[in-house]
Amino acid sequence: MSVAPMLEIRDLHVAINGTEILRGVDLTMDRGTVHAIMGPNGSGKSTLAQVLAGHPAYEVTAGTVRYEGQDLLDMAPEERARAGVFLAFQYPVEVRGITNSYFLRSAVNAIRKHKGQPELDALDFLEVLEEKLKAIGWDDSFLNRPVNEGFSGGEKKRNEILQLAVLEPRLAILDETDSGLDIDALKTVAAAVNTLRSPARAFLVVTHYQRLLDHITPDFVHVLADGRMVRSGGPELAHELEAKGYDWLRDGAVVS
């Protein structure tokens, strides 16, 4: 048994096009926990999510990220995915001509192949898929549509969660999964996420608003502002932010 935390970020500095976005981020997450990262627009929340997934546009200028004891920053995006890191994108891209089910099977088989497991054929995979859909309470209506093509905002976000359910990551990062969702869609997505919580899986939930956290109750809430964590606390911190906004944290009230 490894004693290393699931995720350990130390003094992470990240720049894009020469502009520093993250300026010394620290975060430690254990298995089975749900951490929320909140913060105003431009605070670096999404940058953190993208960097953890390995987006090539971001440059890590200092600091370390260890995932289950491994150097995450040294891994290619696909290696991170195969090791169990998953990012639910804020803006999922369209992939023309590829159906959702075909795409998911390609992803599952890429991971299985990497683990030395036999690949699943279309029929075997359909069984897995049906089971996952049932578990999160969704129908199969968008399995045969091209990936995200012509999907509404809500459908795209749901699709990200479906991928999460099928790929079974150990660290799931949700990047503003609530943005663009109406309240019903938000509840649907949150309910699915809750069914996917488990002692073996950690969630990093990045959000601007507290409303998602009404439905996915975090164990910890962190506030990111100007590229640094300015406050950490329990779920009550989210409510405090909802009531007071972000400004009171930025006016020098930095808490280590």
Give the binding site for other proteins (CB under 8 A). Answer: 53-56, 76-78, 80-82, 86-87, 89, 92-93, 95-98, 103, 106-108, 110-111, 114, 146, 163, 167
Question: In the bound complex, what is the minimum distance in angstroms from residue 94's beta carbon to other proteins?
Answer: 8
Question: In the bound complex, what is the minimum distance in angstroms from residue 123's beta carbon to other proteins?
Answer: 17
CA gyration radius, the chain: 18
Nearest CB to other proteins, comparing residues 105 and 231: 105
Nearest CB to other proteins, comparing residues 76 and 253: 76
Q: Rounded to an integer, what distance in angstroms lies between the CA atom of residue 96 and that of residue 37?
A: 32
Nearest CB to other proteins, comparing residues 50 and 207: 50
Nearest CB to other proteins, comparing residues 82 and 231: 82
Nearest CB to other proteins, comparing residues 87 and 238: 87
* 3-class DSSP state of 11: strand
DSSP 63-123: EEEEETTEEGGGS-HHHHHHTTEEEE-SSPPPEEEEEHHHHHHHHHHHHHHHTTPPPP-HH
Q: Rounded to an integer, what distance in angstroms lies between the CA atom of residue 122 and that of residue 16?
A: 41
Question: In the bound complex, what is the minimum distance in angstroms from residue 93's beta carbon to other proteins?
Answer: 5
Question: In the bound complex, what is the minimum distance in angstroms from residue 221's beta carbon to other proteins?
Answer: 25
Question: In the bound complex, what is the minimum distance in angstroms from residue 3's beta carbon to other proteins?
Answer: 27
Q: Rounded to an integer, what distance in angstroms lies between the CA atom of residue 198 and that of residue 193?
A: 10
